[in-house]
Amino acid sequence: MKQPIVIAKNLTKSYTKGLRALDNVSLTVNQGKVLVVMGPSGSGKSTLIRTFNGLETFDRGELNVLGIKIDSTHDERQIQRIRRRVGMVFQQFNLFPHLSILENITLAPINVQKRRQIDAEEYAMYLLNQMGIDSHANKYPSQLSGGEQQRVAIARALALKPELLLFDEPTSALDPERINEVLDAIRRLAEQGMTMVVVTHEVGFAKDVSDQVLFMDSGKVIEKSTPDIFFSNARHERSRKFLNQLDKHS
């Protein structure tokens, strides 16, 4: 049995006016598995995964990431320990416009992990090759398409050799024709055994790649099931309504 990478128990986070972004959320992500988180806008998906690397705090509950406990005090030393081992890819690419693609990827390994420049660059080129964009190493972000920039962002996250990779709607800012090249890159990571939590609305991708689907609404976990059950015979009426709406827009 592979060990749990993330264990969350009863995570609760309230905003002003009593709105609950997270309402007693519990889940487990095992090593080498892919959890896909789905739900309507404002359901708490992004808030949830951002607690896993300390970008969001929570009010109550227990969270253990890679054997490191985070609590509501949000101890900065614990957060820094986790961030060294957890990578994240956002909706927006967040690349430094004044740095080349190669420099964007090697910045953290050289400055944070104190790797030798020659080693960091060699590994960066390997990752760019994996992403199919090694010919762009000396270009700047503005010279690349959105899909190419997002693949650079994935390579940048991988450059720190994370044990867990988080994706917050990685294709939502892309043109439709660029979406598949990013999803294919994430698929390859899943095939290689990377532990991932992915927030997405891409149903076909979720069916292919996920080991488990978590469906959220209004900060609550409505349903947790395997993709074959969730997409063909969702147990909860709210889940079925959400999937019907996705079908209409696809």
Q: In this predicted model, what pLDDT tens digit does every residue of 24-72 receive, in sequence order?
A: 999 999 999 999 999 998 899 999 999 999 999 999 999 999 999 998 8
Does the pTM of the predicted model rise above 0.75?
Answer: yes
Residue at 146 is within a domain: yes
For residue 102, give its domain range: 95-161
Is residue 28 in a domain? no
Q: What's the total number of domains in the chain?
A: 1
d(CA 78, CA 117): 28
Read off the DSSP letter of residue 2. P
**Domain assignment present for 142:** yes
Please indicate, yes or no, if residue 134 is contained in any of the structural domains.
yes
| DSSP letters spanning 12-55 | EEE-GGG-EEEEEEEEEEETT-EEEEE--TTSSHHHHHHHTTTS
For residue 82, being part of any structural domain is answered with: no
- Give a yes or no: residue 148 inside a domain: yes
User: Does 122 reside within a domain?
Assistant: yes
Residue 92 pLDDT: 87
Pull the structure tokens for residue 121: 């660059």
**Span 177-199, pLDDT tens digits:** 889 989 999 999 999 999 999 99
Residue 57 lies in a domain: no
